[in-house]
Amino acid sequence: VKAFISAILGYDPNSKNTEGGVLGIVKAYYGCVEAQGRGSLHCHLLVWVEGGLNPNELKDRVLNDEEFKARLMTFLEDTISTCVPDDMPDAPSVPSSQFHPCSVRGVPADLTDEQREPAIQKDFHNLVKSCQVHTHTKTCYKYCREGEPKFCRFDLDESNTRPESVVDPETGEIALKYTNGLVNSYNDTILQAVRCNMDIKFIGSGASAKAILYYITDYITKTQLKAHVAYAALETAIKKLENAQIPNDDVASRAKKVLQKCAFSMISQQELSAQQVCSYLMDLEDHFTSHSFRTLYWSQVEKYIDGIDPSPECY
């Protein structure tokens, strides 16, 4: 991940890199490592690009500045792809045609200059077909009610195509061109470098941008321990403590026992995949940040805001 941030994103903590990386000059990033259902680790990464505007400013520029709008659309369409690249049937044999593209490193090194370009195109086609084309499973429909029409919760469907990028004149929301409704959005360079499934989204203008930002922030900071499991563990710990022989007048001792029992109970109920355990034993990071942060106690912030009689817009 560190190599990706340095080499592909081109992040320079000293701000001396004026050329940037594949997304431009990266101003900041925050990412966390999560284990999916079958245990393999993956990273969710937020990237702030130098010169980026906040949603309100971006909406105003997109709706009122045609030149800016055209430049932004060109940048986004060049950065985010939603198609399956053309196949090259006459290209030289490449390893990704015989093995899964994720298990090989690309095209052979001994190809001639004339063979290399079609071989790269053939390998890229195989990579997108294997890693980025969505296949519906029961997970797609787990929120659909019985008797109602089923829809993919990832909003991926063959009919979800768009011939060109458009901007909603009311909200300023940007809807990028979509040539294949079953393709997860990807960046050509990043996909060819990491050689695994990826999903890239632009968080820009419109009301949905704020909703997406909240969702991502909530997602990358969520705990691995499910809420219902945590509450059940706490209940078990308190019941065990009630049966312990502790004098009622020893308040400090009882409080200490409660905290210990609750902590041990929650830790014992937390599921960790083998990959996560190995990662922790090897002292590998589970999050990556470009900046240091301070703890924000939100309840105190709300109390302060309520105390100064804020305007209704704050709520």
Q: How confident is the model over 203-228, as pLDDT tens digits? A: 876 666 677 777 767 766 666 656 66
Asked whether residue 27 falls in the same domain as residue 149, the answer is yes
**Is residue 314 one of the residues assigned to a domain?**
no
Rounded to 5°, the CA angle 182-187-190 comes to: 125
271 pLDDT above the threshold of 80? no
Confidence of residue 274 (pLDDT cuts 50, 70, 90): confident
Strands 26-35 and 287-289: antiparallel
What pLDDT was estimated at residue 244? 59
Asked whether residue 85 falls in the same domain as residue 230, the answer is no
**Is residue 192 one of the residues assigned to a domain?**
yes
Asked whether residue 103 falls in the same domain as residue 251, the answer is no
Q: How far apart are CA 106 and CA 303, in angstroms?
A: 56
CB atoms within 10 A of CB 11: 22
Which pTM value belongs to this model? 0.77
Asked whether residue 177 falls in the same domain as residue 31, the answer is yes
| Mean pLDDT value of segment 264-286 | 77
| Mean pLDDT value of segment 43-68 | 88
What pLDDT was estimated at residue 241? 61
Last residue of a domain, one of 221, 249, 280: 221
- Per DSSP, the residues of 153-208 read TT---TT--BSS-EE-TTT--EE--BS-TTBPPB-HHHHHHH-S--------SSHH
Asked whether residue 156 falls in the same domain as residue 252, the answer is no
Mean pLDDT across the chain, nearest whole number?
83
Asked whether residue 131 falls in the same domain as residue 229, the answer is no
First CA to last CA distance, the chain? 38
Q: Which domain holds residue 231?
A: 225-269
Asked whether residue 153 falls in the same domain as residue 237, the answer is no
Of the ranges 217-226, 238-247, 305-314, the best mean pLDDT one: 305-314
**Is residue 166 one of the residues assigned to a domain?**
yes
**Is residue 290 one of the residues assigned to a domain?**
no
Asked whether residue 111 falls in the same domain as residue 242, the answer is no
**Is residue 281 one of the residues assigned to a domain?**
no
What is the total count of domains within the chain? 2
| For the chain, percent of residues with pLDDT exceeding 90 | 33
What pLDDT was estimated at residue 199? 92
Q: Which long-range contacts (CB under 8 A, 24 or more apart) does 247-256 make?
A: none
What pLDDT was estimated at residue 140? 86
Asked whether residue 28 falls in the same domain as residue 120, the answer is yes
Confidence of residue 190 (pLDDT cuts 50, 70, 90): very high
Confidence of residue 303 (pLDDT cuts 50, 70, 90): confident
Asked whether residue 115 falls in the same domain as residue 239, the answer is no
Confidence of residue 246 (pLDDT cuts 50, 70, 90): low
| Mean pLDDT value of segment 287-291 | 89
Last residue of a domain, one of 191, 221, 251: 221
